[in-house]
Amino acid sequence: MTEKRALIIEDDPDVAATLVDILCLDGFTVDSTESGSEGKAYADVGYYDLIVLDWGLPDTTGIEVLKHFREKNIDTPILMLTARSQDEDKESGLLGGADDYLTKPFSIKELRARIVALMRRRGSYAGFSLEFRHCKVDLKSREVTVDGKSVSLLPKEFSLLTMFLQNQNRVFSLDDLVNRLWDGEEGASYDAVRQCVKRLRKKVDIDGSPSIITTIVGVGYKIEKE
């Protein structure tokens, strides 16, 4: 499976520390900030499997940060945290683009259950598959089939394909992909990304049909949702 990454945007240091501890224990690599503007910057340039977002922040509101993410076509599952418990507040968060809503104070057990549910919907847990046109990925067995025939992918190619499939319509820049897939490894470069995309296309594309991976000239790559 690919590495799981989470972003926490929470200004209460005790709550933030608890969230970091829980997510790290559950296998996430975590970035944390108390600032809405910094949270936007993190998500604009990085890839995350989960965002935990507080409603009340020192420099803006969680709703404004949420709006920014969705306007940028960042479709990462977002769990809103807030001390507000009124139905209209929950409605505001969910209609604004949040995937779930958790009222403070919350139990660790409930938090974990919400996170598992969000990740399951995203297809990031064993037993789920991803499909796009003629290509299918079984996340449990790591088997990839093209028109029903199994193909063998290298680890970086598999990670690249699943990331694109889980984030259809999101454009990933070369910087995004270097940081996400190589993360400081020796040999990390823009050319390494381009070569990985080239190899992946040869394995999953069908002759005579457009590539499933779209190149956005001067920007990066994406799989365009049908």
| pLDDT at residue number 198 | 96
| pLDDT at residue number 54 | 93
| Strand partners for 146 | 135, 149
User: Do the strands 129-132 and 149-151 form a parallel or antiparallel pair, or are they unpaired?
Assistant: unpaired
On the CB side of 69, CA atoms within 13 Å amount to: 33
Question: For position 180, which CATH number holds?
Answer: 1.10.10.10
- In the chain (226 residues long), the average pLDDT of successive 10-residue segments reads 80 93 89 94 83 92 89 84 64 70 88 87 58 85 89 91 85 86 79 94 93 93 86
Tokens standing for 143? 């088997």
| pLDDT at residue number 126 | 42
**Is 0.95 surpassed by the pTM of this model?**
no
Asked if residue 30 lies in contact with residue 39, where contact means CB atoms within 8 angstroms, the answer is no
Measured CA to CA, the distance from residue 13 to residue 196 in angstroms comes to 40
The answer to whether residues 107 and 134 belong to one domain is no
In 3D space, the residue among 8, 14, 52, 55 whose CA is nearest the CA of residue 34 turns out to be 8
Measured CA to CA, the distance from residue 190 to residue 188 in angstroms comes to 7
Total structural domains in the chain? 2
- Which residue range(s) make up the domain with 151? 129-222
Name the domain boundary from 122, 152, 174: 122
The answer to whether residues 9 and 108 belong to one domain is yes
| pLDDT at residue number 1 | 43
| pLDDT at residue number 201 | 96
Measured CA to CA, the distance from residue 220 to residue 176 in angstroms comes to 9
The answer to whether residues 89 and 133 belong to one domain is no
The answer to whether residues 35 and 93 belong to one domain is yes
Residue 180: DSSP 8-state: I
The answer to whether residues 136 and 109 belong to one domain is no
| pLDDT at residue number 3 | 64
| pLDDT at residue number 96 | 64
Name the domain boundary from 122, 143, 168: 122
Burial class (CB in 10 A: 0-12, 13-18, 19+), 191: exposed
Per DSSP, the three-state class of 51 is strand
Question: For position 23, which CATH number holds?
Answer: 3.40.50.2300
The answer to whether residues 108 and 199 belong to one domain is no
| pLDDT at residue number 165 | 86
The answer to whether residues 80 and 153 belong to one domain is no
Report which secondary-structure segment, H or E, holds 23.
helix 13-25
Name the domain boundary from 57, 88, 122: 122
Asked if residue 65 lies in contact with residue 57, where contact means CB atoms within 8 angstroms, the answer is yes
The answer to whether residues 135 and 110 belong to one domain is no
Sign of CA dihedral 183, 114, 112, 10: positive
Any idea which residue has 């998500």 for tokens? 43
The answer to whether residues 213 and 159 belong to one domain is yes
The answer to whether residues 98 and 11 belong to one domain is yes
The answer to whether residues 25 and 112 belong to one domain is yes
The answer to whether residues 118 and 47 belong to one domain is yes
